[in-house]
Amino acid sequence: MKTEMITLKHGDASIKMPASSLAKLAMASVFAQVLPPAANVQPVAHCATPEIGEPWPGQGGINGGFVQARGDVPAHYLIIAANDAGDHEWGGRGVEVKGLSKTDGYTNTQVLIGNDDERKYPAADACAEYKADGHHDFYLPAAAELYQGWLNCPEVFAQDCYYWSSSQRSANFAFDMTFDDGSQVSHGKFYERRVRPVRRFFI
């Protein structure tokens, strides 16, 4: 079916457009004239991005820096919880958990807390249970996300201990990291290590 077109002329100027588009413009013009202006509606204020390593109001923690889109994960800021969530075992010693990566801590945590092998993964559980500023989407960071924290703001982490990542090395070992010198190694899953929850702020 051919679209009905209408030509509008004013002096030497003319414009040709679909009749349906002209009808929409006319209706919008009428509503703008007869409806009262919205009362007490404030424009959305632009929220300035805090400096890396500084608290991000309303986001549950500290700005850990920008993360480029990777695979199915859109670009986002890494929000690092303001506080640690204690010392915990990684868990699942002797089991090589399938589907874990060195970059995607959120998916890693979902795999660990949703496992059906009846084993516990205390470090991931502690991060998944963490809440701040109304956000309940925290997770145990992957090895790459811990490394980003060390690159951008190592001072927000304790300097005298190792932090677990959600990235697995083998059935008996997982990656952890210390923030005094950025060493990333692997230790037995039965060790208790510090854990720091993180979350993603999509833009």
Residues 168-186: tens digit of each pLDDT: 999 999 999 999 999 999 9
Q: What is the pLDDT of residue 16?
A: 58
Q: pLDDT for 67-99, tens place per residue?
A: 999 999 999 999 999 999 999 999 999 999 999
According to DSSP H, which parts of 35-186 are helical? Answer: 105-113, 122-128, 143-152
Per CATH, the number for 55-202 is 3.10.100
Q: Which helix (H) or strand (E) holds 13?
A: strand 13-18
Biggest distance spanned by C-alpha atoms of the chain? 83
Cα–Cα–Cα angle for 183, 188, 166, nearest 5°? 65
Please tell me the number of Cα atoms within 13 Å of 32 on its side-chain side.
6
Q: Which of 12-21, 55-64, 183-192 has the lowest mean pLDDT?
A: 12-21
pTM: 0.77
Residue ranges, CATH 3.10.100, the chain: 55-202
Q: Which helix (H) or strand (E) holds 19?
A: helix 19-34
| Calpha distance 107→135 (Å, rounded) | 17
For tokens 């506080």, the residue is 83
